[in-house]
Amino acid sequence: MHIRTLTIVGVGLIGGSIGLAAKHRGLAERIVGVGRRPEPLQFAQDHGILDAQTPHLTEGVRNADLVVFCTPVQYIVDLALAAAPNCPAGCLLTDAGSTKAAIVEALEEHLPPGIHFVGSHPLAGSEKQGPEHAFANLFDGRLTVVTQTSRTDRAALDQTAAFWQALGSRVRIMSPEEHDRALATTSHLPHLVAASLASMLPTGLHSLTASGFRDVTRIAAGDPSLWTGIFASNRSAVLDALQHLDDQLANFRLALQTNDQQRLSDLLAQAKRVRDALGS
């Protein structure tokens, strides 16, 4: 795969890492960054992540072969709709958003002829923000979900998969809905729970936390605006996952109330089996 101009809209941790990985792997001749705030773009250009940068979307996508939208999910649809008429024919659009159904639904059938959008979600990142936390190996061996629906252009799908593989990622094709249901359990509910536990901690107990509490709540340091967008675009699946969690917590509650130590031990052993199987 070779790209003449790769445009990254939203140059933060993910967008910056895409730029770095593309640079390190010689994937693109020229990398253009688009963003509202000048500081992250300047940082990215100064650190060899970008060849050029602009606050103007129209200008940024003008010569693009591939545009990746790496903004918070709530901005992706509007930005892609605004970008598409200014893209050259044959240009491929994709994204790195954490939810997929709403974005794919809004974009797949609403772009000009010859401009295709394929949804993507690289399962990589951290609670940190900004291109200063970007690194070229972020996608190495990680999984990127690329979405397919009955309307997805087959060549665009293949090209999108090849792009993420060229950045070092493994790729799995899923429907947007299947992705969103899965991620509600593996990412969105855990974030909601981490935030709830963090909020419960009074200042006086900060010094009585150890590595366990820090691990469990680490992702609660994520950007509230970014996560509000994720939750708002996957409400139904997150509510279902939350109900499932309530059922699990009810098992623990009953075992505690009745001092059923065998049951407690069974619940903890089941959790350990899953966690051990997952690896470190």
Footprint (CB under 8 A) of its own copies, residues 55-84: none
Q: Which stretch binds its own copies (CB under 8 A): 15-23, 37-45, 62-70, 227-235?
A: 227-235
Strands 66-69 and 120-122, by their bridges, are: unpaired
224 binds its own copies (CB under 8 A): yes
Residue 56 or 272: the one with the smaller Cβ distance to its own copies is: 272
CB of 53 to its own copies, least distance (A): 28
Residue 196, classified by CB atoms within 10 Å of its CB into exposed (0-12), middle (13-18) or buried (19+), is: exposed
Residue from 81, 106, 143, 173 in contact with its own copies (CB under 8 A): 143
> Which residues in the 231-250 window bind its own copies by CB under 8 A?
231-232, 235, 238-239, 241-242, 244-246, 248-249
- Please state, in angstroms and rounded to a whole number, the distance separating the CA atoms of residues 187 and 196: 14
User: Does residue 135 bind its own copies (CB under 8 A)?
Assistant: no
Query: Which of 46, 88, 158, 228 is the binder for its own copies (CB under 8 A)?
Result: 228
141 near its own copies, rule: CB under 8 A = no
Q: How many CB atoms lie within 10 A of CB 93?
A: 27
41 belongs to the binding site for its own copies (CB under 8 A)? no
Query: Between residues 155 and 268, which has the closer beta carbon with respect to its own copies?
Result: 268
Q: Which region, judged by CB under 8 A, interacts with its own copies, from 12-20, 32-40, 55-63, 192-200?
A: 192-200
Interface mask (CB under 8 A) for its own copies, residues 253-272, using x and -? Answer: x--xx-x-x--xx-xxxxxx
| CB distance 65 to 87 below 8 Å | no
Does residue 89 bind its own copies (CB under 8 A)?
A: no
Q: Are strands 120-122 and 143-147 parallel, antiparallel or unpaired?
A: antiparallel
Position among 37, 141, 154, 199 found at the interface with its own copies (CB under 8 A) = 199
Q: Does 171 bind its own copies (CB under 8 A)?
A: no
Phi, psi values for residue 145, rounded to 5°: -85, 130
With CB under 8 A as the rule, give the number of residues binding its own copies. 84
Residues in 201-220 that interact with its own copies by CB under 8 A: 201, 203, 205-220
Cβ closer to its own copies: 89 or 199?
Answer: 199
Quick one: tokens of 204? 């006086």
